[in-house]
Amino acid sequence: MTISSRSDELLIRPCTKQYKKMVAAAPLFLIVPAVALVVREGLPAFALLVATVLSCVVIMYFYFRGVYVVLTPTEVGRSGFTSRRKMWPRTDVAAIVVGHIYLSIVDSRSAENVFLLDRAGRTIIRLRSTHWAQEDRDALVARLGIAPVVHPDLVNPPEFAKVYPKALPWYERLSFAKMVLLTFGFVILLFVVIALVVAMTL
């Protein structure tokens, strides 16, 4: 956490320690398909897997390097992978909702989520405990001076969306059946890509 006394600005950044904890607890259903592909296709699949992992590492490096949330006396906002800020007036924050939500409908891991919502219930900024330290989330809420509404139960994303329909992106609101179909389609696409890579190396 960084506090600029010159401008009374609160600036917080994602916490790599929190993210590493989340990655280390990755469920088997995310790991087994990758191992199965390597066993089935051999070296080309392994090379593609390594390239994918390295790409993810590079993306996350720039994420942790560039992303931050900032709160000034008049505005709140965040940056993306670049240092460019997207800002909203502090008066746009109508409510703060804290909810413990499963990472997905097919993942048993959960995270505390802090949502800054506008008057229409849309998310302005969302902080998850998988990426943001507890003290930083608490500091942001305290600085905003809005009493948070705490969702009482641990729920999956579609259940949370029944109460706050505009807080989550569309892919998190998918039902279990639709999420399974989406995951299955992704696995099929991955198989096709690897098959094409293998065919090109023959």
Q: Looking at the predicted structure, is the pLDDT value of residue 8 above 90?
A: no
pTM above 0.75, yes or no: no
Mean pLDDT of the chain: 80
List phi, psi (to 5°) of 107.
-130, 125
Q: Is the pLDDT of residue 195 over 70?
A: no
Q: What is the pLDDT of residue 148?
A: 97
Phi/psi-derived region of residue 125, left when phi > 0, alpha when psi is between -120 and 50, beta in every other case: beta
What pLDDT, on a 0 to 100 scale, did the predictor assign at position 18? 74
**Quick one: which of 147, 125, 143 has its CA closest to 2?**
143
Rounded alpha-carbon distances, angstroms, from residue 76 to 71, 87, 125, 138, 142 = 4, 6, 9, 15, 13
Residue pair 44/201 in contact (Cβ under 8 Å)? The answer is yes
Give Cα separations from 84 to 67, 81, 93, 129, 179 (angstroms): 9, 8, 21, 24, 33
Per-residue pLDDT at 164: 96
Helix, strand and coil content of the chain, in percent to the nearest 5, comes to: 50, 25, 25
Distances (CA, A) of 36 to 32, 57, 63, 139, 189: 6, 22, 29, 44, 15
Q: In angstroms, rounded to a whole number, what is the distance separating the alpha carbons of residues 36 and 191?
A: 11
Per DSSP, the residues of 14-74 read: --HHHHHHHHHT--HHHHHHHHHHHHHH-HHHHHHHHHHHHHHHHHHHHHHHH--EEE-SS
Instruction: Indicate the pairing of strand 85-89 with strand 123-128.
Output: unpaired
Report the alpha-carbon distance of residue 100 to residue 110 in Å, rounded: 7
Would the pLDDT of 47 be above 90?
no
DSSP 147: P
Q: Tell me which of 55 and 90 has the higher pLDDT.
A: 90
**Mind listing the pLDDT tens digit for each residue in 115-144?**
999 999 999 999 999 999 999 999 999 999
Return the pLDDT at 198. 56
Render pLDDT for 144-155 as a digit per residue (tens, 0 to 9): 999 999 999 999
> How much is the average pLDDT of 69-78?
95
Quick one: pLDDT at residue 1?
52
Band the pLDDT of 5: cuts 50, 70, 90. Answer: very low
Residue 167: pLDDT over 90 = yes
pLDDT at 85: 86
